[in-house]
Each structure stands twice: as C-alpha cells, then as structure tokens.
Amino acid sequence: PTATTTFTVTGKTAGESSLPISATVTVNPSPVVSVQNATICNGQTAILTATGADNFEWSNGETGNSISISPAETTTFSVVGTSLGCASAPVSAQVLVNPLPIVSVNDATVCAGETAVLTASGATSFEWSNGETGNSISVNPAETTTFSVVGTSLACVSAPVSAQVLVNPLPSIDLGVDITLQQGQEITLDATAPGLMYLWSNGATTSTIVVNSMGTYAVTVTNLEGCTASDSIQVT
C-alpha cells in the first residue's frame, strides 16, 4: 500500500467462518533529506550538514548529520538519511574548491631619493605590507627595504610574496667653497672620489680640471651603481 491501510481476513473450517480479523499495514514516509553545497579555498575545511532524518550515512563512510572535509579539488559527496527504518534517496552536495592565487612581484633597484614602482600580478586584488592596495605601489625608501604583498581571488588569499627595493647610495662630491682667482693664477678643481665617472660643465671627463678664468664650474659624478650627484663652484 502507498498509505497506511487496514486489511481484514475471515477464516473458514468445515463450513464455519471465523469472526473477521483486522491487520493494519503502517506505511511510514521516506525521509526527505536536504544538504547544502559548500565553497572553500584550497587547504580549508568545509562542513556539510544534512537535515530531514534521524540518522545519516555519507558516501565517505562517516555518520552523523554533519561532516568536516578538506578535499584537494572540487568533490561531490552524497548522504542517505534514515527515519523509522526508512531510508531516503541519496542526496548530493558539492564542495567547490577554489585554488589559492599565485602572486608574483618584481624587485627594484633605485638610487637614494628615487621612487621605485612595485607591480604584483596573479590575483584580482592586493594588499601590501605598507597598508596600500592595488596591484602597483610607488615607494621611496631611504634604505634597502623588503615589502610583501598578498593577493585575493574568489575570496582566497595567496601566501605572502616579498619584493626587495635595493637603494644604492648617491656618490659624495664636494668642490668646496667659492674661490677668488688672482691675475695669472691657475686653480685645480678636484672632484676625485673612488669608482666615479665625471662630466664637467666645460666638457671635461677627468676627476680634476685646471681653470684660469672666472665663471661657474659644475661637475656631475656617477658611481658604479649608476647613481649621480652634482656640485658647482664659483670662481671670481
């Protein structure tokens, strides 16, 4: 029967009939089980909770209305519920596993006082160790500094990735105080410093020049790291 039903039976022996006897077949409904899907990031734990029955058995062998699972990839689980000896049809739930973003970022080399641009990629949003957001930041550290960034995509956060801004010092140059030139006198202007290239305002490329006329003389020096500094002196 599809619903609880009472049946009767009468027995006969030697032409004599018994009184009718009744028997009831009680039809318990099959439980209607429901379970929600879940979305996690790779490495996280999902909790699947089933309702609609007294007892449950999951496709991974666990029992109980809730299970905690950490699949490495998107996986479908099923559960069967039982109430009053009746089992439900299997019900499926999918655990969608989103991958963690893989973020990359460039290092940078600048001279002291210059600005470095760090650009991250591999995610939809970013957060830097200096509190800034966006895929690119402009920084001007006074000394070599390491910055880190994490990226987020589909609510999943990457591991921190580091980028170093190497700050090279400027060359040190000092031509001294202004000089008064005596008639017929020659003066040597000295910009000497180790490991430098020189460019004077008169076109000379030596570390020293000899001048015998008044004017302003300037020199730009470049060190091995490509950083420059300038100084000038007035000869009157």
Could you report the per-residue pLDDT of 171-197, keeping only the tens digit for each? 989 999 999 988 889 999 999 877 789
Q: Give me the sign of the Cα torsion angle 130, 133, 136, 138.
A: negative
Mean pLDDT of 49-64: 97
Residue 50 pLDDT greater than 80, yes or no: yes
**Alpha-helical segments (H) within the chain:** none
Model confidence band, residue 14 (pLDDT cutoffs 50, 70, 90): confident
CA angle 232, 112, 130 (to 5 degrees): 150
Query: HSE (CB half, 13 Å, CA atoms) of 113?
Result: 6
Q: Using an 8 Å Cβ cutoff, are 204 and 210 in contact?
A: no
pLDDT value, residue 88: 96
pLDDT value, residue 182: 87
Contacts of 194 (CB under 8 A, 6+ apart): none
pLDDT value, residue 218: 96
Average pLDDT, the chain: 95
pLDDT value, residue 99: 96
Residue 40 pLDDT greater than 90, yes or no: yes
Q: Using an 8 Å Cβ cutoff, are 159 and 175 in contact?
A: no
Q: What percent of the chain has pLDDT over 70?
A: 100
Give the pairing of strands 91-98 and 38-41. Answer: parallel
Q: Using an 8 Å Cβ cutoff, are 168 and 114 in contact?
A: no
Picking from 140, 145, 139, 187, the residue whose alpha carbon sits closest to that of residue 164 is: 145
Q: What percent of the chain has pLDDT over 90?
A: 92
pLDDT value, residue 95: 98
Residue 167 pLDDT greater than 80, yes or no: yes
Report how far Cα 202 is from the mean position of its chain's Cα atoms. 54
Could you report the per-residue pLDDT of 201-228, keeping only the tens digit for each? 999 999 999 999 999 999 999 999 999 9
CA distance 18 to 221: 125
Could you report the per-residue pLDDT of 86-144, keeping only the tens digit for each? 999 999 999 999 999 999 999 999 999 999 999 999 999 999 999 999 999 999 999 99
Q: How many CB atoms lie within 10 A of CB 158?
A: 21
Residue 230 pLDDT greater than 80, yes or no: yes
Q: Using an 8 Å Cβ cutoff, are 156 and 41 in contact?
A: yes
